Amino acid sequence: MTETLRANEMGRPLERLDGHVKVTGEAVYAYEQPVTDPLYLHPVQSTIARGRITTFDASAAEAVEGVVAVLTHENAPRLAADDDKELWVLQDDRVHYRGQFIGVVVAESLEIARYAADLVRVEYDRWPHDVELRADRDDLYAPDVVNAGKETDTDSGDVDEALAHAPVVIDHTYTTPMEHNNPMEPHACIAIWDAENGGGLTLYDSTQGVYVVRRKLAPVLGLEPERIRVVSPHVGGGFGSKGTPHAHNVLACLAARVVGGRPVKLAVTRQQMFAVVGYRTPTIQRVRLGAGTDGRLVALAHDAIEQTSRINEFAEQSTTVSRMMYAAADRHTSHRLAALDVPPPFWMRAPGVFPGMYAAEVAMDELALACGLDPIELRVRNEPGTDPETGKPFSSRRLVECLREGARLFGWERRDPEPGTRLHDGWLEGTGVAAATYPRELMPGNHALIRYGSDGCYQVCIAAADIGTGTWTALTQIAADALEVPAKVIRLEIGDTDLPQATVAGGSSGLSSWGSAVVGAARAFRDRHGPRPEPGAEATGTVPDNPAAEKVALHSFGAQFAEVRVSADTGEVRVRRMLGVFSVGRVINARTARSQLIGGMTMGLSAALYEQSVVDPRFGHVIDHDLATYHIAANADVQDVDAVWLDEVDPFAGPMGARGIGEIGIVGAPAAIVNAVHHATGVRVRDLPVTPDKLV
Ligand code: MOS
């Protein structure tokens, strides 16, 4: 096991170091970077879902004063590699989904570019398209592998046989809708082409990982990675869609090459976000649970149907949580995909884990009722001794403590289990609980540089990202403890490929991966220079080896509680209280951690009650493609949300003992609300979101 860092700065609720520049507007985001004499892009999008462009008439657009160029598949520079079809823009006349970028107007102002883009006339050969995910499709297929490199199917024992003989069986289908990432700052970038020395590109980008952007764009653009610099010091939110570059980045790079050195700026509009930067696939999940009358599971089957696009495969890992969550002798999980004429789905907060845990934890609530058991007691009875998937011991599995501590704080013991009986002033009241889990990932490929300055401060450099999560602050605290100095003498530098390599802010892996590299660099620095370094002293380091981690299963856990009231007349659901109790290893910054967790829970509330992207099958586009019609939880929806955690340092989880907190907050939250709605009304909703029509 690696030596665990002693905490001095870690754990403190240090205020965000970037808070002041953010609230005063001084923080410079991608689109606002000061560049000289920029041009502005506005894309042209396809108005059909499948077919071929026969005519692209840009003459009216080109005639507008201030338009510099219109790029189409006929005149855009050629790209070098088509492995990623999402990034293969303006290279041929094919349309694969509605809203696909088929051209871009380059102009002296954003207004001119947008106006001129409307003047482009496109004619198509329209081909039949297919955008509907249904369980009865005959073309569902098993992908080779699902997201995060997990197996597509797993089987142990004979689940059908066990279900046939189980005294209590739950067999239901749960669905989650398509959802779209909507960070406060939409995707945006500035690209600058420098023709000197064989050419190079600078990209200011709103991204969760500058090195990811460089690594993915380099082969597409036919450039050596070192010729691309990506800069991203501040990011206004990213829930997965900014975890990879998308087509708009390529559009900007193509345009930058054409305009000969002038910077080009591209801000994806809120409406365009609903077609071009990925989304959460809809899911259709069948969960079958077989149990004894005592609630002990004997069989567990979880099968998911999801969609992907015909051009790129992305398979969300929705049933993987059922492989490790509860003990059962006979188990089965699977994923099947339909390839449709839709944009490629991609990451959205807790991909797989979020939809899978929703279905699994509502099914557990149904099992508790069928067995006449308290839902917390049911979960306690099904705790596995070791990880059911790998047979390894858990590094730390404190789910029962989370449930019991949550029950105490929430007042669970006063709960009357009978559904649909508490009517006060026209509102039916209920409470619900669900478990949460998230795997701890450690990304390989992180390096950090530490340099001591003549001002007595330590410059700590790593190309990490702060997407609003608190990296600036928490990574500073880690560096301080690793060097055994106060946080105020740390000067952190992040968000630039000129800094040492770092992995994506994703999979709840960012801070623990980057922080481990910073610890590695700090140890190398102290080994080489001792506690009294000379100015200019420096060292680089990487993540310390941790072979002990191979011997255990590393997962975070949590218990989510919700209290709702439902209008008996209208079916309107109000969430009065949410409480999450989490076991996540060490918490690096108590303030930003709480913010992350309650942010995740709020996103879970949003998914439970509001979020759904509605596709019109006739045209293949998302109808509610703005924040006026795609509803997300707003302040008035969030009355009392609190998150607490168990005091813990996981010695298997690297030098900080932290397992990561970015995603577990959203996991289980919608199930807790749906279970509370059932407790309030006696109506079991299995299809998210819980809109009033499903309750009246
Ligand atoms: Mo998160 S969806 O892994 O960026």
Q: For the residues 614-623, what does the mean pLDDT come to? A: 98
Looking at 314-318, 404-408, 441-445, 585-589, which range is the least confident one?
441-445
493 C-alpha to ligand 1 centroid (Å):
22
| pLDDT tens-digit readout, 519-537 | 999 999 999 999 999 999 9
Residue numbers of the domain that contains 329: 142-175+282-377
Give the position, in ligand 1's atom list, of the atom nearest the Cα of 240.
4
Q: With respect to residue 248, please indicate whether it lies within any of the assigned structural domains.
A: yes
Residue 104 shares a structural domain with residue 161: no
Give the position, in ligand 1's atom list, of the atom nearest the Cα of 242.
4
> Final residue of a domain: which of 213, 244, 276?
276
Distances 120 to 97, 102, 264, 360 between C-alpha atoms, Å: 19, 11, 20, 49
> Final residue of a domain: which of 276, 298, 317?
276
pLDDT at 685 over 90: yes
Q: With respect to residue 233, please indicate whether it lies within any of the assigned structural domains.
A: yes
Q: Ligand 1 in contact with 349 (CB < 6 A)?
A: yes
Q: For the residues 125-138, what does the mean pLDDT come to? A: 97
pLDDT at 665 over 90: yes
Confidence grade of residue 2 (pLDDT, cut at 50, 70, 90): low
Q: Ligand 1 in contact with 279 (CB < 6 A)?
A: no
Q: With respect to residue 520, please indicate whether it lies within any of the assigned structural domains.
A: yes
> Final residue of a domain: which of 248, 276, 304?
276
Supply the DSSP symbol for 12: S
Residue 221 shares a structural domain with residue 349: no
- The reported pLDDT for the residue numbered 260 is 85
Give the position, in ligand 1's atom list, of the atom nearest the Cα of 504.
4
In SS3 terms, 259-294 reads as CCCCCEEEECCCCCHHHHCCCECCEEEEEEEEECCC
Q: With respect to residue 400, please indicate whether it lies within any of the assigned structural domains.
A: no
Number of domains in the chain: 3
- The reported pLDDT for the residue numbered 197 is 80
How far is residue 214's CA from residue 528's CA, in Å, rounded to a whole number?
32
Strand order in the sheet with 121-126: 94-95, 51-57, 121-126
| pLDDT tens-digit readout, 212-271 | 999 999 999 999 999 999 999 999 999 999 999 999 999 999 999 999 899 999 999 999
- The reported pLDDT for the residue numbered 262 is 97
Q: Ligand 1 in contact with 552 (CB < 6 A)?
A: no
Q: With respect to residue 243, please indicate whether it lies within any of the assigned structural domains.
A: yes
Q: With respect to residue 230, please indicate whether it lies within any of the assigned structural domains.
A: yes
pLDDT at 409 over 70: yes
Q: Ligand 1 in contact with 666 (CB < 6 A)?
A: no
H or E, element range at 423: strand 423-424
593 C-alpha to ligand 1 centroid (Å):
16
Residue 210 shares a structural domain with residue 116: yes
Pocket test for ligand 1, best of 150, 179, 206, 239 (most atoms within 8 A of CB): 239
Residue 535 shares a structural domain with residue 482: yes
Residue 187 shares a structural domain with residue 171: no
Q: With respect to residue 581, please indicate whether it lies within any of the assigned structural domains.
A: no
How far is residue 606's CA from residue 690's CA, in Å, rounded to a whole number?
10
How far is residue 683's CA from residue 223's CA, in Å, rounded to a whole number?
57
Q: Is 611 a catalytic residue?
A: no
In SS3 terms, 175-203 reads as EECCECCCCCCCCEEEEEEECHHHCEEEE
- The reported pLDDT for the residue numbered 198 is 82
Residue 355 shares a structural domain with residue 220: no
Q: Evaluate the CA torsion angle 481, 484, 487, 492 in order and state its sign.
A: negative
Residue 330 shares a structural domain with residue 270: no
Question: Do residues 430 and 422 lie in contact, with contact meaning Cβ atoms separated by under 8 Å?
Answer: yes
Q: With respect to residue 82, please indicate whether it lies within any of the assigned structural domains.
A: yes
How far is residue 191's CA from residue 263's CA, in Å, rounded to a whole number?
6
Confidence grade of residue 144 (pLDDT, cut at 50, 70, 90): very high
How far is residue 295's CA from residue 370's CA, in Å, rounded to a whole number?
9
Secondary structure (3-state) at 534: coil
Residue 109 shares a structural domain with residue 192: yes
- The reported pLDDT for the residue numbered 461 is 98
In degrees, to the nearest 5, what angle opens at C-alpha 63 toward C-alphas 61 and 64? Answer: 70
Confidence grade of residue 1 (pLDDT, cut at 50, 70, 90): low
Residue 100 shares a structural domain with residue 148: no
Catalytic residue among 9, 185, 538, 663: 663
What is the CA 407 to chain-centroid distance, rounded? 29
Closest C-alpha among 177, 106, 144, 163 to residue 614: 177
Q: For the residues 3-27, what does the mean pLDDT come to? A: 95
Assembly ipTM: 0.96
Q: Evaluate the CA torsion angle 91, 95, 97, 101 in order and state its sign.
A: positive
149 C-alpha to ligand 1 centroid (Å):
15
In this structure, the residue with its CA closest to atom 4 of ligand 1 is 240
Q: Considering the chain, what is the average pLDDT of its residues?
A: 97
How far is residue 586's CA from residue 324's CA, in Å, rounded to a whole number?
22
Residue 533 shares a structural domain with residue 488: yes
Residue 354 shares a structural domain with residue 464: no
pLDDT at 426 over 70: yes
CATH number at residue 153: 3.30.365.10
543 C-alpha to ligand 1 centroid (Å):
21
Residue 300 shares a structural domain with residue 366: yes
Supply the DSSP symbol for 236: S
